[in-house]
Amino acid sequence: MNVWKRVFGAAALCLGAMVLIQPAHAEENLVDVIKKRGKLQVGIGAFVPWAMRDKQGQFIGFEVDVATKLAKDMGVQIELMPTAWDAIIPSMIAGKFDMLNGMSITPQRKEQIDFTVPYAISGQGVAASKQLASKLKWPEDYNNANVTFACRRGIAACKLIEDKWPKATLRQFDDDAIAFQEVINGNAHAVISSEPKPTFFTLKNPDRLFKPNAENVSNGEDAFGMRKSNPAMMAYLNDWIGKNKDWIKQRHTYWFKTQEWAALVPQ
């Protein structure tokens, strides 16, 4: 009898420990958690014009507009959580914030997190150095060990370069602006990043940069991302996207098709 008591007692302790170590977000309805807290916490990366700081140091941009309206419609405040892009998925999985937005859907990312239906289309574009690359044919001449690509660490562009130009030298940086500056300075042949940044940088530096390819190098679908297995939050976000398609399109046009906002950010 004492043996069985010990066995059942040990089993109960193990079960209790398993319950204790389960993260709260694994069992709770995320919509309820956010509303009880009174705040929606969204992880963001700094990308122009998705999310960037204005002259007063506040975040503005397309994804900031989307996150802010979502929080308002949920009846809660918004808390933006700036995070290094290569750490943003692990940070969300660890529970540092509720969700992220503006992330392109890829098979690799879908293995880690859940995505809503897409609400925007994005693409990777290229800007090249007039000094180093003006005589290179696109794209075949860029697949050469003597050609150097630059990209921001952790974004899809780096993987794209490795796949399409495996012989080229790849240099990765912690900030998009530094990657572009390397090409502007003639230290790298080309940089690939999410549009419209390659277009904007080329327009601002016409004597140093050109676009060897007018079309996007690749296209993707952007969506909200969240930790796996939260059907209530998934349903809520998909419904919100469906109801706000026209508004989302209008804000996307403002940030991606115009430069009306340019005076708001440091040059």
The model's pLDDT over 165-190, given as tens digits with 9 standing for 90+, comes to 999 999 999 999 999 999 999 999 99
Q: Are 114 and 146 a contacting pair, CB within 8 Å?
A: no
Please give the domain boundaries of the chain with CATH numbers for all domains: 29-121+220-262 (3.40.190.10), 123-219 (3.40.190.10)
Predicted confidence at residue 15, as pLDDT, reads 44
Distance in angstroms (rounded) separating the CA atoms of residues 212 and 149: 13
**Residue 136 has what DSSP assignment?**
P
According to DSSP, the residues that pair with 185 across neighbouring strands are none
Q: Are 45 and 80 a contacting pair, CB within 8 Å?
A: no
| Nearest residue to 252 (alpha-carbon basis) of 62, 123, 45, 19 | 62
Residue 198 has pLDDT above 90, yes or no: yes
E strands, the chain, in order: 39-44, 52-53, 59-60, 77-82, 99-104, 114-115, 120-129, 148-152, 169-173, 190-194, 209-210, 218-226
Q: What percentage of residues in the chain have a pLDDT greater than 70?
A: 90
Predicted confidence at residue 231, as pLDDT, reads 96
0.85 exceeded by pTM: no
Predicted confidence at residue 25, as pLDDT, reads 45
**Residue 137 has what DSSP assignment?**
P
Compute the half-sphere exposure of residue 229: CA atoms within 13 Å on the CB side of its CA: 7
Cα separation values, 37 from 75, 76, 177, 231, 232, Å? 11, 8, 36, 19, 17
| Nearest residue to 193 (alpha-carbon basis) of 183, 207, 208 | 183
Length of the chain: 267
Predicted confidence at residue 226, as pLDDT, reads 97
Residue 27 pLDDT level (bands cut at 50, 70, 90): low
What rounded mean pLDDT belongs to the chain?
90
Q: Give residue-wise pLDDT tens across range 140-151.
A: 999 999 999 999
Predicted confidence at residue 72, as pLDDT, reads 98
Q: What is the mean pLDDT of residues 196-221?
A: 92
Predicted confidence at residue 35, as pLDDT, reads 97
Q: Are 102 and 218 a contacting pair, CB within 8 Å?
A: no
Q: What percentage of residues in the chain have a pLDDT greater than 90?
A: 76
Show the tokens assigned to 114.
């859940």
